[in-house]
């Protein structure tokens, strides 16, 4: 089960999917107000997203799944693993957020205010150089534009509501409750989901595997899709031989 980042959609996984083992059954989800899903209505909090994903597994008749989450999706994946370990075969935490310093919390809250007042198309355009390296932007403008256009089209109130969950949630104190096989991956130069955060998760989750991908920023599932696909496939096959 593939859980995308805030403002994105299931389409963000297309490049990674093209490299993953073809025998894997993939479920890529659009959160409320993202992609093809209806907008957020009422209360929007972490438990809502967790319940949505478990309910989807129920509707599909799937007892348990490997859960791969990117950025805010990694927060959701961790929360699912803690609340529903019986539904979680393993978790892969990509570019996750955990153990923010006071300065990092302030930056996240300041960014939330920007998201609230700025149209998604404008905030997406200003984020590209935080998402991708300059070299990748030059080499693969098609993939960069695809992701920019996804975020530009997101429902603005839903984007802001989901970003608030991202900005105000820190599950580092619950990480030791993750008892399923765990792979943690982040980019060496990720400014928001820093290697230090992933190292903290690695220290708190017993038996977890940590990989810091050199020379990449936030969107490692696009910029290093083939490399990540190998990591994920090998990990899943070790869990389910």
**pLDDT tens, 64-80?**
999 999 999 999 999 99
22 has pLDDT over 90: no
Report how far residue 50's alpha carbon sits from residue 229's, in angstroms, rounded to the nearest whole number.
25
Spatial contact of 70 and 150, defined as CB atoms under 8 Å apart: no
- pLDDT digits over 48-107, tens only? 999 999 999 999 999 999 999 999 999 999 999 999 999 999 999 999 999 999 999 999
Strands 88-94 and 209-213: unpaired
User: Contact at 8 Å (CB) between 64 and 80?
Assistant: no
d(CA 125, CA 193): 19
pTM value surpassing 0.85? yes
Residue 122 and residue 99: Cα distance in Å, rounded? 29
241 pLDDT band, cuts 50/70/90, is confident
Token pair belonging to 23: 């025998």
Quick one: which H or E segment has residue 53? helix 46-60
* Distance, CA of 177 to chain centre: 19
Closest CA to 193 of 87, 78, 80: 78
Task: Compute the distance between CA of residue 215 and CA of residue 132 in angstroms, rounded to an integer.
Answer: 10
Q: How far apart are CA 64 and CA 84, in angstroms?
A: 9
- Which CATH code, of 3.20.20.70, 2.60.120.10, 3.40.50.1820, 3.40.1710.10, is assigned to 2-239? 3.40.50.1820
pLDDT digits (tens, 9 = 90+) for 188-238: 999 999 999 999 999 999 999 999 999 999 999 999 999 999 999 999 999
Report the pLDDT value the prediction gives residue 42, as an integer from 0 to 100.
84
Q: What is the pLDDT of residues 99-152, one digit of tens each?
A: 999 999 999 999 999 999 999 999 999 999 999 999 999 999 999 999 999 999
CB 107, CB 34: distance < 8 Å? no
Question: pLDDT grade, residue 45 (50/70/90)?
Answer: very high
From 20-29, 69-78, 147-156, 162-171, the region with the lowest mean pLDDT: 20-29
In sequence order, the β-bridge partners of residue 212 are 186
Q: The tokens of 123 are what?
A: 């905030």
Q: Give the pLDDT score at 76.
A: 98
SS3 (DSSP) at 22: coil
């Amino acid at each position: 089960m593939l859980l995308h980042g805030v403002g994105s959609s299931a389409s963000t996984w297309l490049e990674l999917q093209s490299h993953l083992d073809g025998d894997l059954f993939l479920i890529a989800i659009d959160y409320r107000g993202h992609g093809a899903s209806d907008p957020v209505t009422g209360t929007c909090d972490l438990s809502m997203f967790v319940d949505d994903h478990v309910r989807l597994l129920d509707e599909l008749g799937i007892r348990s799944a490997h859960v791969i989450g990117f950025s805010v999706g990694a927060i959701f994946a961790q929360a699912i693993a803690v609340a529903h370990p019986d539904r979680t075969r393993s978790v892969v935490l990509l570019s996750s957020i955990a153990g923010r310093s006071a300065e990092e919390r302030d930056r996240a809250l300041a960014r939330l205010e920007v998201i609230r007042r700025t149209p998604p198309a404008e905030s997406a355009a200003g984020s590209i150089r935080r998402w991708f390296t300059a070299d990748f932007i030059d080499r693969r403008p098609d993939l960069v534009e695809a992701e920019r256009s996804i975020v530009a089209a997101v429902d603005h109130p839903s984007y802001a509501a989901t970003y608030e969950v991202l900005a105000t949630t820190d599950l580092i104190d619950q990480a030791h409750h993750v008892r399923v096989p765990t792979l943690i991956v982040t980019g060496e130069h990720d400014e928001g989901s820093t290697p230090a955060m992933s190292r903290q998760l690695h220290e708190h989750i017993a038996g977890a595997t940590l990989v810091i991908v050199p020379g990449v920023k936030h969107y490692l599932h696009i910029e290093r899709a083939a490399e990540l696909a190998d990591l994920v496939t090998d990990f899943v096959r070790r869990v389910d031989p």
